[in-house]
Amino acid sequence: MSTASPALAHFVFVIGSTDDFESANDLHIAAEARAIGNTVDLNFSRHPFSVPSTLDEDTIILIGRGLAFSNGWCEDDTISFLMVDPAAGGRIV
């Protein structure tokens, strides 16, 4: 008997420096611009990842933060948000 894997949900955790961004909306605009191939010369990064669709939002946010923090970011002086992967709608969670 085979058990089906849960469907995957695709997210992007975006984090940027408060030196370059005043709001999450400013960061979102820059992240969208870079996602479509525009050059954006500001200090931020995007961390795409996929998780089982059954995970709760708090756990998904922790995974996104873990990816950013393990790549040199920290919570101090940053703005961040989680969004559904732009290919899946791009809304902020």
pLDDT of residue 91: 53
Q: 30 to each of 20, 51, 63, 68, how far by Cα in Å?
A: 10, 25, 22, 17
Tokens linked to 29? 């605009």
Q: Do residues 53 and 5 lie in contact, with contact meaning Cβ atoms separated by under 8 Å? A: no
Does the pLDDT at position 31 exceed 90? no
In this model, does residue 93 exceed pLDDT 60? no
Total-model pTM: 0.82
Name which of 64, 54, 62 is nearest 14 in CA terms.
64
At 85 the pLDDT is 80
